[in-house]
A and B are shown apart, each in its own frame.
Chain A
Amino acid sequence: MQALRDLSAQVRMTTTGVRPEMAVAGSTPEMLDAGKLLPRLNKLNDSGRLAQAIGEDAAAKLIQDVDKAARTKASAISRVKLAKQIAVGAATVGGAGYLGHKAFGILGGGH
């Protein structure tokens, strides 16, 4: 039972947002961070605590399911990184400002 409490503690520590029963319109939705939960589950599993809490088969299934969710999130994050890299690259285009000055001067300052 203490093993279940350990598992519960890890779930609670990786959950953010407002509890559904306390939420109002516009509240931050309750989110369980699969990316943070996964290593914690692995740690519990390594010590045998996870299997002790919910059984070996359920432990394996839980880790597999959380891993699947974590990978979905990782793909979203990779797009954020991609966009950040592009944005940083875009910032270097600031050097084209000088050319912009001349170009706009020739264009008469407008379209």
Chain B
Amino acid sequence: MATNPFEQPLASEQAKASPAAGNPFDQPLPSEQSTAPQEQPGFLSRAYEASPLPGMWDAAKGAVSDFVNAPVQGEQNFHAMTDALRAGNFREAAGHAAQLLVGDANPFTDAAKSVISGLTKDAHQAGRDIQTRNLSAIPVIGTAASNDAKDVAAGNSSAAAGDVVGGVTSVLPMLLGDEASTTRAGYIAGKVGDALIPEKLRNAVSDVADKVTGDSAQPAVQSAVRGAAEDTAASEGVQPKVATSVRDAIQNTSDSILGRSKAAFQTLDDVSGGRWQSTTKPTQNMNSGRKTSRQRNRIWSIR
């Protein structure tokens, strides 16, 4: 059907035709090709899967099929909107969709409505969940956080980052407005978008970061410190008290060595007729940095 422009591949599809054309987000973005560091496979596809894009894209394609015989008006805007969707640019897609809705009459209004509806779907509930910090109730964020920890544990940091990006994009629709009220749309975009989301999002991802740190980094760093204490104790031939807290690992070893030394100090004290003990305090003060000229003179005079 050569007269139907919608059965022809989009210009961008022709340009990007590849074996992975089924998922356009497997294609690197131009900005990533030029500046971003090489990502492991899985970043874009995970971001794509975690975001609301697949459903939106299907909705947009469905809307296109309803208009196959419609006259070609606003085609450029429509193609720009679908291209923006495929590129993951919600802002641009929403802008083109809104232009289709508020501009001259065209056959693409339902498609534009599908896009806007997709963007705003569940936005109101998401806003309430974020305000109450019930982030697990937001499916994408909850999934992203869970997958993120698993991926980091498995060393797949790229896919984990993709989940975070996908999770973030799921919050974007609420910036475009409240489904029930145009007034609240402005409120959410202006107030929630500026202040609440970055803070809540930061907390959400911080929780993940803390979990990652707690799950994988803590055993390593704590065992390193404990290991150093145990090795030192072994080389000194002492058996320090077992440290429940990592805070005490080094200290217990130090105390054990000090305890062993006390016997030697007593011997020295006995041999020196009690003179050794008088050097102990000034020596400790020198070690801790609290020394006076009088103390130094006393030490030198003993020597």
In-complex Cβ contact of A93 among B90, B120, B225, B257 (8 A): B90
- Counted as pairs of residues, one from A and one from B, with CB atoms less than 8 Å apart, the total is 239
Given contacts A20-B244, A31-B213, A90-B172, contact A111 B179 (CB under 8 A): yes
Query: What residues of B have a CB within 8 angstroms of the CB of A104 in the complex?
Result: 116, 120, 177-179, 181-182, 185
Give the residues from 90 to 109 in chain A that come closer than 8 angstroms, CB to CB, to chain B: 90-91, 93-107, 109
Query: What residues of B have a CB within 8 angstroms of the CB of A82 in the complex?
Result: 161, 164-165
Q: Are B98 and A31 in contact (CB under 8 A)?
A: no
Q: Are B222 and A79 in contact (CB under 8 A)?
A: no
Give the residues from 114 to 169 in chain B that come closer than 8 angstroms, CB to CB, to chain A: 116-117, 120-121, 148, 152, 157, 160-161, 164-165, 168
Q: Are A102 and B101 in contact (CB under 8 A)?
A: yes
CA distance A95 to B257 in the complex (A): 67
Interface size on B, residues (CB 8 A): 81
Q: Mark B210-244, 1 if CB is under 8 A from A, else 0.
A: 10111011101111110111011001000000001
Q: Is A43 an interface residue (CB 8 A)?
A: no
In-complex Cβ contact of B181 among A32, A90, A109 (8 A): A109
Q: Is A15 an interface residue (CB 8 A)?
A: yes
Distance (whole angstroms) from the CB of A78 to the closest CB of chain B: 8
CA distance A7 to B287 in the complex (A): 14
Query: What residues of A have a CB within 8 angstroms of the CB of B121 in the complex?
Result: 111
Q: Are A53 and B220 in contact (CB under 8 A)?
A: no
B-side residues, CB < 8 A to A, are 90-91, 94-95, 97-98, 101-102, 109, 112-113, 116-117, 120-121, 148, 152, 157, 160-161, 164-165, 168, 171-172, 175-182, 185-186, 188-190, 193-194, 197-198, 201-202, 205-206, 208-210, 212-214, 216-218, 220-225, 227-229, 231-232, 235, 244-247, 249-251, 253-254, 257-258, 261, 287-288
14 of the cross-chain contacts (CB-CB < 8 Å) are A4-B250, A29-B218, A55-B232, A58-B231, A62-B228, A66-B225, A76-B212, A79-B164, A87-B198, A87-B202, A90-B197, A103-B98, A104-B116, A104-B178
